[in-house]
Structure 1
Amino acid sequence: MVVNPAPVERGVIRKPAAGRLRVALVYPHHYHVGMSNLGFQTVYRLINDVDHIVCERAFLPEQDGGKIHRVLTVESQTPIEDFDIIAFSISYENDVPAVLTILETAGLPLSAARRGATLPLVLAGGVFCFLNPEPLAPFIDAFLLGEAEALIHPVFEILDPRAEKRELLMALAREVPGVYVPAFYTPRYHGDGTLAAVDPAAGVPATVKRVMVPDLSTVPTASTILTPDTTFENTYLIEVSRGCPHGCRFCSAGYVYRPPRFRPLNLLDHQVDEGCALTDRIGLVGAAVSDLPGIRELCSRDRGRDIHFAFSSLRADALDGPLIEALRKSRVKTATIAPDAGSERMRRVINKGVTEDHVLTATETLVAAGIPNLKVYFMIGLPTETDDDVTAIVDLVKRIKHRFLKTSRGKGHMGEITVSVSCFVPKPFTPFQWAAMDEVRILKRKIKVIQSGLRKTANVRVHADVPRWAYLQALIARGDRRVAEILLLAHRNRGNWPQTYKASAINPHFYVHREREPEEHFPWEFIDQGIDRAYLLKEYRQALDARPSAPCPADPSRCSICGVCKGTAVNSSCRNRG
């Protein structure tokens, strides 16, 4: 029985499988979510660019009366266990439990150690993997840590399904930077449960370097397949940049993608033209789209037809006339502003670099341009947050509403403000990796304060995270290899997490609610991101004092303060910043 979706798709890659290495590329979520992910589509294209490989896509099937069917590929409806390689693309912590479900549905032993030499090789990559793969380590043969453009060709040059599995994995670990084979690394723990060290096997590197593409000017990244069944319906997505110069202290993308890299205008201009040949919807993707040099020219060029641009992120302090005009011409109905915190003090703590005046001015400008609805993002549970800081979110939303209403008068229509509240989760390789996460009951109380404070405010809706899922995210983000036992127990309990936490011999609070000591060795520190631990600790201490730091200059020749660009010239102004 065919149980995978049969969507309308343009751009599917079909290659004869005969004589080729066969790869099932699996996104551990449903089709709609996976196909909305530009990184997943990019990996699909890059693997198929290798002549001797055929790559097909697979997703977590929809449940049918509580039963999950076999996982079949979209292209040929072939079970994934029939492929030479099963490669997971994992972006988010909360998708990790689905990896176990998919492996079991495929009839494979969950433990990598129990899978024989004849079974498919199980790989995993994606940003989750190069933040902290350890909770998933016992289930994966090898992780690819870094950007696909720098990894796929070196990895698949070595992969030979006829080779003995252990020898093949050893060759990958020794010869390809960015490949992490958990079986060759053994963690040791102190008596108090903290990590003492990770012992590598003979011949493999003690640390695994996360690999990146230094120059994106010749590496275009855009949608491979267009389909209406995504978050961005029939939208041609173009990645304009990687990384972000602003250094928000909670954001892993601002640190693991340093220095930020922007694609040149001529390349992006060509990609927009390519997209226009397929659709009138162009989505510009990046952590800092409004920082892109030439963004205004890119959006204002006459292309002979109406183009509707959408932006993944625009900062409140960057909304000028040309960008607003691009939004207006694209008939955007909802614009997003992310103050992230309600008080000026908390925005200094997180190094946001956006003031209340920026937020209110952006509100006024957007509404005046005819954009009827606003979405405003906030976080709760940030380090040093007080009850006054939570109340400040309510107060700021009311001031936003006042500007919103004042500017809307005379237009004959009052739009809606959606307040999105997410729970802070401390992430690896950020200054907040030492911080503890708020308890679930405290997060629930803070959400209730915001909901109650805005309940009687007309045209304002509040959408909030579910704290228990944020707790799971933190457990996986901050866990060591022993967390795999919790994942396995939850899998056996069919996703009943309260029952799992209660029955687990391992205390999940140890990973979630414990503030880490400055000298503690983290489970993810076998990965070399290039960034100095001392720099991150200094940033954490500055956060506790509510002291901001200057943005990353995004120029390796000008700075080496965080360590990523060390070895280049450091000018005096950069030496003294922060």
Structure 2
Amino acid sequence: MAWKTDKFQKRSGESEIGTIRKQWKGRIKVALIYPNTYHVGMSNLGFQTVYYLLNKIEHVVCERAFLPEDSRPGANRTITIESGSPVAAFDIIAFSVSFENDFPNLLTIIEKAGLPLRSSNRENSHPLVIAVGVAFFSNPEPVAPFIDCFLIGEAEAILPRFFDAALPDLLNQNKISCLKTLARNVPGTYVPAFYNVTYNSDGTLRAFEPTADVPVKIERRYLKDLAQVSTCSAILTKDTTFDSTFLIEVGRGCPHGCRFCSTGFVYRPPRFRPFSLIEKCLKQGASMTDEIGLVGAAVSDLPDINKLCDQRFEKDVRISFSSLRADAISPELLSVLKKSKVKTATIAPDAGSERMRKVINKGITEEDILHAAENLVAEGIPNLKLYFMVGLPTETMDDVEAIVTLCKQIKHRFLKSSRARKRIGEITVSLHSFVPKPFTPFQWVAMDDMHSLKAKIKKIKHGLKRVANVRVHADIPRWAYIQALLSRGDRKVSQILSLANKNRGNWPKTLKASPINPDFYVLRERSEDELLPWDFIDHGINKSFLKLEYKKAMQGKTSPPCPMESCNICGVCKENSKDKE
């Protein structure tokens, strides 16, 4: 092929270990795109997993592309890392998206590829544009007009079946015929063009109905048994957040049921890999690098995690964890952290007061948090990172002040242990604005307004301003507002995205000029009987279960963790009797 790579593409490809290059002839050509920079995309294990899975399919060749570094109009055409080919030259453009705030970049990339933005305006000669990723497990509707079809589910459970059906002969058909065949024969395939959305006079949804012979609801596909496949880094490169760290996914979902967290609901049932499989991944990683990262929403809940202490490598290998639950830091786990010379450990109290932790069903006490901080420092881990949220449902200024108080208490315990070791580290407090997410018990609540969020952040910063060795970082409430808009919006939000694209990402200008009021999606409390934009997706969770959890939250009542065995509590295990793979 005559296409030439630019300097960045060439430099990136040359610095990688594990790049896959396949011949194009006779294969379906897929341009897999992460809608952010190379640095961000290659730090994402889900993106790497899709790349690896697609290239395992014999009749598929998959190459990667990213958001061009220069976002100016006409700058940096979108080309692939492996061959430097324009993405428009591929049969399929596949977006892998984990975060809603990357939705605007989808439009930027489609435009830079020289394609019409809207699916309805693209011809049969254009590549098929599909989208995968956890962001679409929850709500694909804000970007529905721009995508030909979404694959709703975990990559291992849906990609092989999709590409068994998406053979070259099918892709050469009329686009509508091709999409109908896929929608009818591949469970989890959602084609927005085959569904009609109508609205009530007040702007809420009236109906969401198929217009063709396709499923009324889209079942999220998932892998029942994670022992079937390992999920770890396909490519190593220094140009990532983790700098040549070999990432291993230990499990999916979380049994604890924190009411704000979509991961604990859209990945139900929670599943862990057997340690024997993780052990194989550890050895694979150790043969490639000396940095290994264990990732998952509940890493410290991994059965047999204490066996990490027994691992022996031919060289010094450092093992790190994405985050730790304060009530699950065992002596054995501390030993692994110490042996790995971990410098910073992360725990997430999420709320400062005991009352708020009950509202969100966090399931840890103040003493759990203080004890964890004390033990981590005592074992030679000098720095702590603490995650908190502001703007949670029912939160008062007393609850906000409790974050300051708890941080000071942690600092006291931290200092006590640090002095014993004659080394004082640093505490980093990370503040995040709460965003209500689909398929959680808080999907009906209104988001806190930006003025309130800024006031709460200011109060915490002021309260910790003079506390030595404590730094406070906070997100920007405006970006949280946009995330809420993109998380909770319906198809009409696509008009706001189009306007933002026209304004080159100038969101203040966009929100001010939009004929659609974004507050309707962000700051409005939903009624429990309202048809929600994402209700057509079937995760197996009973809506009555989410409503009950919402009511318990408002009453300050907690719920036990998921038993991770067949039960009838949320509905997923009942659905589990169906074939989900």
TM over 0.5: yes
Written as runs of structure 1 = structure 2, the 5 A alignment for 1:338-487 is 338-487=348-497
Corresponding residue number in structure 2 for 1:16: 23
Alpha-carbon distance between aligned partners in 2 of 1:84 and 1:299, rounded to the nearest angstrom: 48
Corresponding residue number in structure 1 for 2:184: 174
Alpha-carbon distance between aligned partners in 2 of 1:485 and 1:370, rounded to the nearest angstrom: 53
Checking the alignment, whether the CA contact within 8 Å between 2:308 and 2:336 is kept in structure 1 is no
Q: Does 1:102 align with 2:109?
A: yes
Checking the alignment, whether the CA contact within 8 Å between 1:486 and 1:504 is kept in structure 2 is yes
* Shift, 1:303, TM fit: 2.6
* Shift, 1:382, TM fit: 0.3
* Shift, 1:116, TM fit: 0.3
TM-score by length of 2: 0.96
3-state secondary structure, aligned to 2:43? coil
Out of 2, 16, 19, which is 2:6 matched to? 2
Q: Does 1:324 align with 2:334?
A: yes
Out of 560, 566, 570, which is 1:550 matched to? 560
TM-score by length of 1: 0.97
Checking the alignment, whether the CA contact within 8 Å between 1:244 and 1:288 is kept in structure 2 is yes
Checking the alignment, whether the CA contact within 8 Å between 1:4 and 1:72 is kept in structure 2 is no
Out of 68, 78, 85, which is 1:71 matched to? 78
* Shift, 1:4, TM fit: 3.8
Checking the alignment, whether the CA contact within 8 Å between 1:300 and 1:326 is kept in structure 2 is no
* Shift, 1:344, TM fit: 0.2
Q: What amino acid maps onto 1:157 in structure 2?
A: D
Aligned-residue CA RMSD (Å):
1.3
Checking the alignment, whether the CA contact within 8 Å between 1:239 and 1:285 is kept in structure 2 is yes
Q: Does 1:562 align with 2:566?
A: no
Q: What amino acid maps onto 1:89 in structure 2?
A: S
Out of 250, 255, 279, which is 2:265 matched to? 255
* Shift, 1:305, TM fit: 2.7
* Shift, 1:412, TM fit: 2.6
Q: Does 1:278 align with 2:288?
A: yes
3-state secondary structure, aligned to 2:545? helix
Alpha-carbon distance between aligned partners in 1 of 2:576 and 2:504, rounded to the nearest angstrom: 52
Q: Does 1:236 align with 2:246?
A: yes
Alpha-carbon distance between aligned partners in 1 of 2:491 and 2:148, rounded to the nearest angstrom: 14
* Shift, 1:3, TM fit: 5.3
Q: Deviations over 1:63-105 (max 9, x none)?
A: 2777641011011111111111100000000000000000000
Change (3 A) 1:373 1:425: same
* Shift, 1:542, TM fit: 0.4
The answer for unaligned runs of 5 or more in structure 2 is: none
Corresponding residue number in structure 2 for 1:493: 503
Q: What amino acid maps onto 2:572 in structure 1?
A: V
Q: What amino acid maps onto 1:63 in structure 2?
A: D
Alpha-carbon distance between aligned partners in 2 of 1:271 and 1:488, rounded to the nearest angstrom: 43
* Shift, 1:475, TM fit: 0.0
Alpha-carbon distance between aligned partners in 2 of 1:515 and 1:132, rounded to the nearest angstrom: 18
> Comparing 55-64 with 295-304, which one deviates more in the overlay?
295-304
Q: Deviations over 1:424-456 (max 9, x none)?
A: 000000000001100011100000000000001
Corresponding residue number in structure 2 for 1:206: 216
Checking the alignment, whether the CA contact within 8 Å between 1:4 and 1:77 is kept in structure 2 is no
Q: What amino acid maps onto 2:6 in structure 1?
A: V
Alpha-carbon distance between aligned partners in 1 of 2:137 and 2:348, rounded to the nearest angstrom: 26
Q: What amino acid maps onto 2:533 in structure 1?
A: P
Out of 301, 304, 314, which is 1:291 matched to? 301
Out of 52, 63, 66, which is 1:56 matched to? 63
* Shift, 1:302, TM fit: 2.1
3-state secondary structure, aligned to 1:383? coil
Alpha-carbon distance between aligned partners in 2 of 1:265 and 1:410, rounded to the nearest angstrom: 36
Corresponding residue number in structure 2 for 1:508: 518
Out of 304, 322, 335, which is 2:314 matched to? 304
* Shift, 1:512, TM fit: 0.1
Alpha-carbon distance between aligned partners in 2 of 1:64 and 1:237, rounded to the nearest angstrom: 30
* Shift, 1:313, TM fit: 2.1
3-state secondary structure, aligned to 2:292? strand
Change (3 A) 1:178 1:3: farther
Q: Does 1:38 align with 2:45?
A: yes
The answer for unaligned runs of 5 or more in structure 1 is: 570-578
Residues paired across the two proteins, number: 567
3-state secondary structure, aligned to 2:429? strand
Corresponding residue number in structure 2 for 1:25: 32
Q: Deviations over 1:109-142 (max 9, x none)?
A: 0010000000000000100011100000000000
Corresponding residue number in structure 2 for 1:139: 146
